[in-house]
Structure 1
Amino acid sequence: MSEKRRYHNPVQRGFFPDPSVIRVGDDYYMVNSSFQYFPAIPISHSRDMVHWHIIGHAITNPEWLDISDIKDSHGIWAPDIEYVDGKFYIYATLRLNADGKRENNVMRRQLVMVSDRPEGPYSKPVCLEVDDIDPSLFVDDDGSKYMIIAKAAQAVPLSEDGLKVTGPARTAWEGTGERCSEGPHIMKKDGWYYAIVAEGGTGYGHGINVGRSRELFGSYECSPYNPVMRQKDPKAPIQRAGHGKLVQDQNGKWWCYYLCGRPNSGNYTTVGRESAMDPVQWTKDGWFTINEGKGPSTEQEAPDLPECVFERNLFDDFNDTKLNLEWEFVRNPDNGSWSLTERPGWFRIWTRDGQLNEIRAKNTLLRREQELSYEAETKVEFYPDKNGEQAGLTCYYSTATYARCAVCYEEGRKIQLVINRNHGEELVAEIEDVQEGPVFLKVVVEKLTRTFYYSYDGKEWMQVGMLENCIYLCDEGVPDDPKRHTGTLVGIYANNGGCGSRKPADFDYFRYND
């Protein structure tokens, strides 16, 4: 007998937090939080439950979601996907700034999108004025629809089409009393309502607790196996495990997808929170455990499904008329700020006002880092002649923390390596008298060390500078920043540094290799 196939966690690697997964026939679909990035809510597909690739986004029309002034780590939180009566429903929280500029100072509202196809296009988001977080859809045996939402597991009755609130929220299960309840789901099996809630905060005390009842609105009893998921070993390679949802495969076996984080040389999850999967075991008395209560696994026996591997490394030569689905803009891109057709085979960005440390910066195109070590490179043609103009490569976490290596103009054409550790740019290295013509830029990441290079031919590389101990490129690295829930992405950008110019920066390709 051949050896059973194995897989390693996380299964959806890189900045893919808060997973919600469904099965439709032999296909599996996952959605994840996207925060301030656009297009919003990546939708991924798998046939073997282990290998995933992005097939679309729930919101692709910038006129339907204005997040142009959304603060870092605000925006789209914790989406849920369900398949009901031949339609795909996605519910998500829109976390607003709540800084006095919004009507009634509302912090959160819920969005609903519907499509006949899992990849979309989805309908224009319908807004549900419920000021809480992490909605999911539950359909009871009689067809009644409820939006399940924190705190703990509240049930908000919905109209038949799922697009309107028809009554006040009622608490189904109040949770265990642990702090920071979020990510609630309710499922029904064998006459029991199971309320599944993440508690303990989304950091290193994260976990999943469960209660059950014969009635939707209780009373619920707590599982004797709680927490059914939590990492209790502080030295383990997978931490921050929680926020989960169960799914049954076509062979009848149950699994749980949940978020997690891989520490990078200490408790620094630089790639962000990711999505992992472990098997579910049902007990004789009708409770369930996840991975037999051992916490998150690093290696596991794979589902008994045909393996279907997708290439996640990226080489984009920009020859297509549409962007690869791995790309994300930081907030809404400005109309006319970029083009794939102005110079065929190149991605063109025009410099605009707004630098990387400003929310108004619109010309930043990124893809997720997937591993703690990787290489990325690009080729740029850019001819700045005004102080402040810049275009190049960036490892970007937020407006507060990033590294950038760019062709720029500062009393002459130069290459500069600049870091922002905590709301302040620092010049690390500078190459003067950069020759005319295209410039190749590359970053080599080895855990917390990032080394930047330049070349004139793409073959002979010269070092610009090295950044060591880049702990600021993660959730935990700047503890005084109020919200840090994303991960580090890598990509390309251009801006004018405030000089007001609109100048083209052309990128010939972008290569990413783990």
Structure 2
Amino acid sequence: MNLYTWKTEAAAKQAFEAAKRGDYETVVRLIDHSFNTEDCDEEGNSLLHYAAVGKNQKLVKYLVERCRMDPTWANQSMCTPYDLAEGTPLEEYFKGVCGFSREECYRNPVLRGMHPDPSIVRVGEDYYMVNSSFLFFPCIPISHSRDLIHWETIGYGITDEKWAEEHLGKLEGGRGFWAPDISCHNGRFYICATLRNNDDAAFIQTQMVTSSHNPAGPYETPVIHNVLGIDPSIFTDDDGKRYMLINRGARIMEISEDGKELLSLPELIWYGHSGHAPEGPHLIKKDGYYYCFLAEGGTGKGHMITVARSENLYGPYVNCPYNPIMHQWDEMGAIQCCGHGKPVETPDGRWFMVYLCSRFIDGTYGMLGRETCLDEITWTADGWPVVNGRKGPSYMAPLPFPYESGKPASCKAGDGWLSPRTRDSSRVRTEKDGTLWIRGDGLDLCCRECSSLLVKFQPDFCYRAEFEMWIPDEEKEEYTSDGGVTLYYDENTYIKFGVTKNEVFVSEYVDNAYVRTESKEYSFEGRVLFRVETDGLNRTFLLNNKILWRWTDVTSICSEGLIKGKRFTGAAYGVYVNGSNLLCWRQHGKI
């Protein structure tokens, strides 16, 4: 779809209004003479969205069957014409066209909020996935599913606080663990990832390997290989030999069975389809061919997945004639930046691809960071894989497997709270009843050494975070801290909404300075209720259910909010203490 231009605006608005009225003759006349069916409005609504509101089935059928408009194409709010038809006769028509009901489908992204760089492996009927964690601890979340759609975090690749402090403690925001891969060999699970260090390190890129008999862990103390490159993955050939792949393009080196030793130097086997930023290599073997998958085009809107194949591990590899096999072709699509994928085969012989994507506010602000999508792979008659028929990401697609609503995917690991770099258990703890306890370390959130905060990643563009905060009775007389809720990206950009003994305030920190602060007198007597409501770029701050401030165009808490270093994560929310007091929180309601 394309946003209408000044040349096409008049015809587009006429067509949209006519479709909304259900005026079949006017819409058909405009299509015949002046309206382009690829045009959409500023919110991404297509002509079919308006027609679904108008409920003229003859018009809807004309647009779908004659103009080939898609009932599952989503606007910027992820709403489709199929959704707008709910409860009308059109819903049954769309069910016949799409081949699935609204209850029998899933929607991308399948993992929302920051879940970048997915890697997946299947063992029996169980699927395991890892995503990048960057500087956040515990590191490298491991998720489990039985149906590829409903996922639960069951563990983490790194949970040793001291090890994390040693390796992550001095790193700048956005560094840490990039693009992990999970694989299984002889009943043991292997996770590898790039440990991206600061630019002044002896090795700015190193490769980490760890393993466990249990997919949820605990995992062994990682081994670090000082090999430059990013996005490692492990491939085991039919003869049992094991290899690690890293970028640029796909470079391959033989490794020991346990992954702790490198047995050869990296050797390039395929540089990619486009030649632009080839990374994220993965290998599979199928029907006598080695298939090499890459992420190309950079991580912006040029991102894509490509593939090549060879009958020999070291090549030469033949470029797929259908490349890129996944790319968002539509500039107005709500899901963008599709790439960095890994395929997985189901027990019944079907194939699916997990891959990263981004969603944007106003086409600019990727507040949520990169998320995880899923689409089916089909194999062409000449043996090539294509994802979702090369149509780009799906917004609605049939469930891969029937979902058993009463059956959880697995047991959750912990409570989901994360800390930057590491966690000091003597200062921070979480209880089974949901209570969070933090003893301040005297450091503000701009300090890399600060450990007196806990965060989770923002799940969507619109959400509400509500916390009750109190001081234990024995601490009240000596309260000298400020504490409360934080909207957090990294040490360079964040917002604090907190209380001192005598005031309540909200303050925004951007690039070495607090750039705006508002405050009111307030007598904090030991217990208070914070609420922050987020609607896109707008934030509303409430104390004890009273609105204190509304901020619009808050752009700092996202990747695009500051040009500095490596800003690859996403917006988070949580709680903090700045001072030395002990404070307690309990989260209220659903996010």
TM-score in terms of structure 1 length:
0.90
Q: Does 1:218 align with 2:295?
A: no
The amino acid of 1:475's aligned partner reads S
Q: Residues 308 and 320 of structure 2 are in contact (CA less than 8 Å); yes or no, is this contact kept in structure 1? A: yes
Q: Which residue of 2 aligns with 1:453?
A: 542
Q: Once the 2 structures are TM-superposed, how far is the Cα of residue 39 of structure 1 from its aligned partner?
A: 0.5
Report which of the two has the higher share of strand: 1
Q: Does 1:408 align with 2:500?
A: yes
Q: Residues 230 and 241 of structure 1 are in contact (CA less than 8 Å); yes or no, is this contact kept in structure 2? A: yes
Q: Which residue of 1 aligns with 2:570?
A: 487
Residues 31-50 of structure 1: pairs in structure 2 closer than 5 A: 31-50=130-149
Deviations 1:97-134 (A, max 9, x none): 132xx3xx210111111111111111111112212111
Q: Once the 2 structures are TM-superposed, how far is the Cα of residue 309 of structure 1 from its aligned partner?
A: 7.5
Match of 1:53 among 144, 152, 163: 152
Q: Does 1:242 align with 2:332?
A: no
Distance 1:310 1:389, change over 3 A: farther
Q: Does 1:504 align with 2:582?
A: yes
Residue 356 of structure 1 aligns to a residue whose secondary structure is: coil
TM-score in terms of structure 2 length:
0.78
Q: Residues 326 and 368 of structure 1 are in contact (CA less than 8 Å); yes or no, is this contact kept in structure 2? A: no
Q: Does 1:362 align with 2:467?
A: no
Q: Which residue of 1 aligns with 2:483?
A: 391
Residues 114-263 of structure 1: pairs in structure 2 closer than 5 A: 114-263=211-360
Q: Residues 192 and 233 of structure 2 are in contact (CA less than 8 Å); yes or no, is this contact kept in structure 1? A: yes
Distance 1:251 1:155, change over 3 A: same
Distance (whole Å) between structure 2 residues aligned to residue 46 and residue 162 of structure 1? 26
Larger radius of gyration: 2
Residues 19-34 of structure 1: pairs in structure 2 closer than 5 A: 19-34=118-133
Deviations 1:326-378 (A, max 9, x none): 1111111235112347x987422111132112212111101111111111111
The amino acid of 1:78's aligned partner reads A
Match of 2:188 among 87, 106, 110: 87
Deviations 1:138-174 (A, max 9, x none): 0011111000111111111101222210111111212
Mark the runs of 5 or more structure 2 residues left unpaired by the alignment: 1-95
The amino acid of 1:469's aligned partner reads D
Residues 397-476 of structure 1: pairs in structure 2 closer than 5 A: 397-409=489-501, 413-455=502-544, 461-476=545-560
Q: Residues 393 and 404 of structure 1 are in contact (CA less than 8 Å); yes or no, is this contact kept in structure 2? A: yes
The root-mean-square deviation of aligned C-alpha atoms, in Å, is 2.2
Distance (whole Å) between structure 2 residues aligned to residue 237 and residue 334 of structure 1? 40
Distance 1:386 1:485, change over 3 A: farther
Q: Once the 2 structures are TM-superposed, how far is the Cα of residue 323 of structure 1 from its aligned partner?
A: 8.5
The amino acid of 2:187's aligned partner reads G
Residue 463 of structure 1 aligns to a residue whose secondary structure is: strand
Q: Which residue of 1 aligns with 2:81?
A: none
The amino acid of 1:204's aligned partner reads K
Q: Does 1:74 align with 2:151?
A: no
Distance 1:207 1:385, change over 3 A: farther
Q: Once the 2 structures are TM-superposed, how far is the Cα of residue 298 of structure 1 from its aligned partner?
A: 1.2
Mark the runs of 5 or more structure 1 residues left unpaired by the alignment: 313-321, 456-460, 497-501
Q: Which residue of 2 aligns with 1:316?
A: none
Report which of the two has the higher share of helix: 2
Q: Which residue of 1 aligns with 2:381?
A: 284
Q: Residues 147 and 157 of structure 1 are in contact (CA less than 8 Å); yes or no, is this contact kept in structure 2? A: yes
Distance (whole Å) between structure 1 residues aligned to residue 565 and residue 408 of structure 2? 36
Q: Once the 2 structures are TM-superposed, how far is the Cα of residue 26 of structure 1 from its aligned partner?
A: 1.1
Distance (whole Å) between structure 1 residues aligned to residue 433 and residue 107 of structure 2? 40
The answer to which structure, 1 or 2, has the higher relative contact order (CA under 8 A, 6+ apart) is: 1
Q: Once the 2 structures are TM-superposed, how far is the Cα of residue 464 of structure 1 from its aligned partner?
A: 2.3
Q: Once the 2 structures are TM-superposed, how far is the Cα of residue 476 of structure 1 from its aligned partner?
A: 2.0
Distance (whole Å) between structure 1 residues aligned to residue 360 and residue 476 of structure 2? 39
Q: Residues 153 and 413 of structure 2 are in contact (CA less than 8 Å); yes or no, is this contact kept in structure 1? A: no
Q: Residues 338 and 358 of structure 2 are in contact (CA less than 8 Å); yes or no, is this contact kept in structure 1? A: yes
Residue 443 of structure 1 aligns to a residue whose secondary structure is: strand
Distance 1:185 1:512, change over 3 A: farther
Q: Residues 51 and 310 of structure 1 are in contact (CA less than 8 Å); yes or no, is this contact kept in structure 2? A: no
Identity of aligned residues (%): 38
Distance (whole Å) between structure 1 residues aligned to residue 418 and residue 483 of structure 2? 17
